[in-house]
């Protein structure tokens, strides 16, 4: 998976790229699709139960991405489970 975001940050044109390459876990046998979707869902539930995210109602996933503490919590939780996004920042 690749996510690319471009825009102006601090007056400079900036590109952020996040890459994810994941495979079936050879120890547990859990397939990449299950790891990337299931772990994301369970970490999101932990985010709510730990009080990191407290907004009520129906929330679109994009809202989590606009909250730095939620993004950090989610990426940390995934990293602990072996699902690692690699970030690259370019200014030009």
**pLDDT tens digits, residue range 11-22?**
999 999 999 999
Per-residue confidence (pLDDT) for residue 14, from 0 to 100 = 98
Per-residue confidence (pLDDT) for residue 62, from 0 to 100 = 85
CA-closest candidate to residue 1, choices 25, 49, 33: 33
Segments of the chain scoring below 50 in pLDDT: none
Structure tokens at 90: 């370019």
From residue 54, give the alpha-carbon distance in Å to each of 40, 46, 76.
Answer: 17, 12, 19
Per-residue confidence (pLDDT) for residue 34, from 0 to 100 = 93
Structure tokens at 44: 């999101």
Per-residue confidence (pLDDT) for residue 43, from 0 to 100 = 96
DSSP at 52: S
Per-residue confidence (pLDDT) for residue 26, from 0 to 100 = 92
Per-residue confidence (pLDDT) for residue 89, from 0 to 100 = 97
Per-residue confidence (pLDDT) for residue 64, from 0 to 100 = 83
Burial (0-12, 13-18, 19+ Cβ within 10 Å), 74: buried
Spatial distance between the Cα atoms of 49 and 32, rounded to a whole number of angstroms: 25
Per-residue confidence (pLDDT) for residue 22, from 0 to 100 = 94
């Amino acid at each position: 998976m690749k996510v690319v975001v471009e825009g102006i940050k601090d007056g400079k044109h900036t590109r952020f790229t996040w890459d994810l390459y994941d495979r079936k876990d050879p120890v547990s046998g859990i397939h990449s699709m299950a790891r990337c979707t299931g772990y994301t869902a369970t970490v999101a539930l932990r985010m709510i139960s730990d009080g990191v995210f407290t907004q009520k109602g129906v929330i679109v996933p994009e809202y989590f991405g606009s909250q730095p503490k939620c993004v950090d919590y989610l990426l940390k939780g995934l990293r602990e489970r072996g699902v690692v996004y690699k970030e690259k920042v370019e200014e030009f």
